[in-house]
Chain A
Amino acid sequence: MFEPILLKNVDVPGGHLLSTYEAGGGYQALVKVLREYTPDEVVELVKRSNLRGRGGAGFLTGMKWSFVPKQSSKPKYLCCNADEGEPGTFKDRILMERDPHQLIEGLAVSAYAIGAKTAYVYIRGEYVTAIRRLEQAIAEAHAKGYLGSRILGSDFNFTVHIHCGAGAYICGEETAMLESLEGRRAQPRLKPPFPAVAGLYASPTVINNVETLACVPHIVVRGSDWFRDIGPEKSPGPKLYCVSGQVRKPGLYELPMGIPLRELVDHAGGPPPGRRIKAVIPGGVSAPVIPEHGLDVGMDFDSLAAAGSMLGSAGVIVIDNSTCMVKVATRIIEFFHHESCGKCTPCREGLNWVVKILRRIEAGDGAPGDLEQLDMLCKGIFGNTFCALGDGAAMGLRAALKHFREEFVAHIEERRCPLH
Chain B
Amino acid sequence: MTMREKIEEAAARYPDQRSAIMPALRIAQTEHGHLPGPVLEEVANILGVERIWVYELATFYTLFHTEPVGMFHLQLCDNVSCMLCRSEDLLRHLEEVLGIKKGETTPDRLFTLSTVECLGACEMAPVMQVGDDYHGDLDIARIDALLDRLRTEARQPTGADLALAAPPGDYRHV
Residues of A within 8 A of B (CB): 84-90, 92-93, 124-129, 161, 163-169, 180-186, 201, 242-246, 250-252, 281, 285, 315, 317, 319, 323, 327-328, 331-332, 335, 338-339
Given contacts A90-B122, A185-B57, contact A339 B81 (CB under 8 A): no
- Expressed in whole angstroms, the Cα–Cα distance for A166 and B116 within the complex equals 13
Q: Chain B residue with minimal CB distance to A332?
A: B80
* Cross-interface CB contact of A166 among B16, B61, B78, B134, cutoff 8 Å: B61
- Expressed in whole angstroms, the Cα–Cα distance for A327 and B86 within the complex equals 12
B84 touches A180 (CB 8 A): no
User: What is the number of contacts between chain A and chain B, taking CB atoms within 8 Å?
Assistant: 140
- Expressed in whole angstroms, the Cα–Cα distance for A185 and B80 within the complex equals 26
B57 touches A331 (CB 8 A): no
Q: Chain B residue with minimal CB distance to A75?
A: B15
Q: What residues of A have a CB within 8 angstroms of the CB of B80 in the complex?
A: 87-88, 245, 281, 285, 317, 328, 331-332, 335
Q: Chain B residue with minimal CB distance to A247?
A: B84
**Number of contact residues on B: which range applies?**
35 or more
- Expressed in whole angstroms, the Cα–Cα distance for A169 and B79 within the complex equals 13
Given contacts A168-B60, A244-B81, A319-B84, contact A128 B122 (CB under 8 A): no
A201 touches B15 (CB 8 A): yes
Query: Which 9 pairs between the two chains have the least Cβ-Cβ distance?
Result: A166-B61, A183-B18, A244-B122, A167-B62, A87-B118, A167-B63, A128-B132, A244-B81, A166-B63
11 contacts between A and B (CB under 8 A): A87-B81, A88-B118, A90-B121, A166-B26, A183-B17, A183-B19, A244-B123, A331-B83, A335-B80, A335-B118, A339-B117
- State which residues 9-45 of B face A: CB under 8 Å: 13-23, 25-26
Residues of B within 8 A of A (CB): 13-23, 25-26, 49, 53, 56-57, 60-64, 78-81, 83-85, 116-125, 129, 132-134
Q: Chain A residue with minimal CB distance to B24?
A: A183
* Cross-interface CB contact of A180 among B22, B119, B125, cutoff 8 Å: B22
Interface centre among B117, B122, B123 (most CB of A within 10 A): B122
B122 touches A164 (CB 8 A): no
B122 touches A88 (CB 8 A): yes
A127 touches B120 (CB 8 A): yes
Q: What residues of B have a CB within 8 angstroms of the CB of A338 in the complex?
A: 117
Q: Chain A residue with minimal CB distance to B19?
A: A183
Given contacts A183-B16, A183-B18, contact A250 B84 (CB under 8 A): no
B82 → A minimal CB distance (Å): 9
B21 touches A126 (CB 8 A): no
Other A-B contacts than A87-B118, A183-B21, A244-B123, 11 sampled, CB-CB below 8 A, are: A85-B118, A86-B118, A88-B118, A169-B117, A180-B22, A182-B18, A243-B123, A245-B122, A317-B122, A328-B80, A331-B80
Q: What residues of B have a CB within 8 angstroms of the CB of A335 in the complex?
A: 79-80, 117-118
A183 touches B22 (CB 8 A): yes
A126 touches B19 (CB 8 A): no
B117 touches A85 (CB 8 A): yes
A251 touches B22 (CB 8 A): no
Q: What residues of A have a CB within 8 angstroms of the CB of B124 in the complex?
A: 250
B120 touches A89 (CB 8 A): yes
* Cross-interface CB contact of A331 among B79, B120, B129, cutoff 8 Å: B79
- Expressed in whole angstroms, the Cα–Cα distance for A186 and B15 within the complex equals 19
- Expressed in whole angstroms, the Cα–Cα distance for A201 and B19 within the complex equals 10
- Expressed in whole angstroms, the Cα–Cα distance for A244 and B78 within the complex equals 14
B78 → A minimal CB distance (Å): 8
Q: Chain A residue with minimal CB distance to B133?
A: A128
- Expressed in whole angstroms, the Cα–Cα distance for A81 and B25 within the complex equals 21
Q: What residues of A have a CB within 8 angstroms of the CB of B118 in the complex?
A: 85-89, 335
A87 touches B79 (CB 8 A): yes
Q: What residues of B have a CB within 8 angstroms of the CB of A331 in the complex?
A: 78-80, 83
- Expressed in whole angstroms, the Cα–Cα distance for A89 and B15 within the complex equals 32
B60 touches A89 (CB 8 A): no
- Expressed in whole angstroms, the Cα–Cα distance for A18 and B130 within the complex equals 29
- Expressed in whole angstroms, the Cα–Cα distance for A244 and B121 within the complex equals 9
Q: Chain B residue with minimal CB distance to A125?
A: B63
A387 → B minimal CB distance (Å): 16
B138 → A minimal CB distance (Å): 14
Interface centre among A163, A166, A184 (most CB of B within 10 A): A166
Q: What residues of A have a CB within 8 angstroms of the CB of B64 in the complex?
A: 166-167
B148 → A minimal CB distance (Å): 23
Q: What residues of A have a CB within 8 angstroms of the CB of B133 in the complex?
A: 128
A249 → B minimal CB distance (Å): 9
Q: What residues of A have a CB within 8 angstroms of the CB of B78 in the complex?
A: 331
